[in-house]
Amino acid sequence: MCGIVGLFLKVKALEPKLGAMLTDMLITMSDRGPDSAGIAVYGEDHEGRAKLTLQAADPALFNGLAGEIEDECGVAVKLRTIDTHAVLDLPEDKLAQVRGTVKYLRPDVRVMSAGEVIEIYKEVGLPGEVAKRFDIPELTGSHGIGHTRMATESAVTTLGAHPFSTGADQCLVHNGSLSNHNSLRRKLAREGVTVETENDTEVAAAYLTWKMQEGATLGEALEAGIDDLDGFYTFVVGTKDGFGVVRDPIACKPAVMAETDQYVAFGSEYRALVNLPGIEDAKVWEPEPATVYFWKH
C-alpha cells in the first residue's frame, strides 16, 4: 500500500504554489506509506540549460564538485546543495558529458534526475519530514508528482524510494506490484537499458523510457505497458510537458482524479484533493481500468 499524488497546472497563476499544494496533498497520504517519500517538480524552462539532481548519503561529497567539473569539462556549472541533494545547472549540450564526469569524480553520488526542467527529491521518512528537509513547499513549477512508500518488494532506502527517473525529464510513481519485473529487467538489459535498483517500479519506468526511445509517444508506451506489464498497478507519469495516469485492467489499486479549468489532480484517495482551490466545483471521477489519461501543455 502506497500513496500517490499528482498535480498538473493549467494556469501560471498557481505555479508559485505548486510545491506547497503537492506537499499538502502528499502529507494527507502519509499513513499509506511510512517508509520513504519523494516529489518530482517540473520547473521553469531556461533555453539552452539543463539540470542534474544528485543525491549523496554524505553531503560533504558535493564540496568542490562544481570546480572539479569545470576543470574536467571546461564548462561553467552552478551547484545548489539542499540537504542530501544537490542540483547542478549546466549547458544542455553538456548534460551527458557532465553526468559521466560526476560518476567518475564521485562514484558514491547518485543521479536522481536529469533534464531541462525536472528536479527530484526523495529520502527515507514521512512526507512531512522529507518536504521540510528539502523546502518542497517553496518550489515552483507547472506540474509535479509525489509518492509515499510502504515497501513490499525491496529494501527501504533512498534509491528505492519513488519517483524513479530513467529518461530525460521523465519520472514515474507506482502503487502496486509487478510480477514479471525480473524477466523485463533482463529484456531491458539486452536492449541496453540499465536498471540500478531491485525495485519493480524502476523497471516500469525504464520500460516506458525504452518504448519512447524506440519512437513511441508516452501514451503509446503506456498503452503497450497494459499488455507487457503484468501485475496490479496504478502509475502516474511525468514528462517535460505532460502528466499521465494508467491503471491495470483489474484496477484494484485506489485512484481518484479531479479537473477544473485551473488544474488536473490525482490522488490515491479523495482526501488528498480536498484542500485544492475550487475542488467543490471540480469534475471528480475514478480512472477506468486499462485506460490511459494524459494532459499536455
> Is residue 292 within 8 Å of residue 222, measured between CB atoms?
yes
**Among candidate residues 103, 126, 152, 150, the one with its CA nearest the CA of residue 26:** 126
230 alpha carbon, distance to own chain's centre = 21
DSSP 72: H
Identify the active-site residue in 2, 73, 171, 252. Answer: 2
> Is residue 36 within 8 Å of residue 158, measured between CB atoms?
yes
User: Which residue type occupies 264?
Assistant: V
Long-range residue pairs from 150-153, CB within 8 A, at least 24 positions apart, any chain: 150/1, 150/2, 150/32, 150/33, 150/34, 150/35, 151/35, 151/36, 152/177, 153/177, 153/181, 153/198, 153/199, 153/200
Cα torsion 288, 253, 150, 121 to 10°: value is 0
Convert 42-59 to b/e letters by CB count within 10 Å (16 or more is b): bbeeeeeebbbbbbbeeb
2 is catalytic: yes
70 alpha carbon, distance to own chain's centre = 28
* Residue 251 φ/ψ region, left for φ over 0, alpha for ψ in the -120 to 50 degree band, beta for the rest: left
Give residue for cell 482526501: 271
- Catalytic site residues? 2
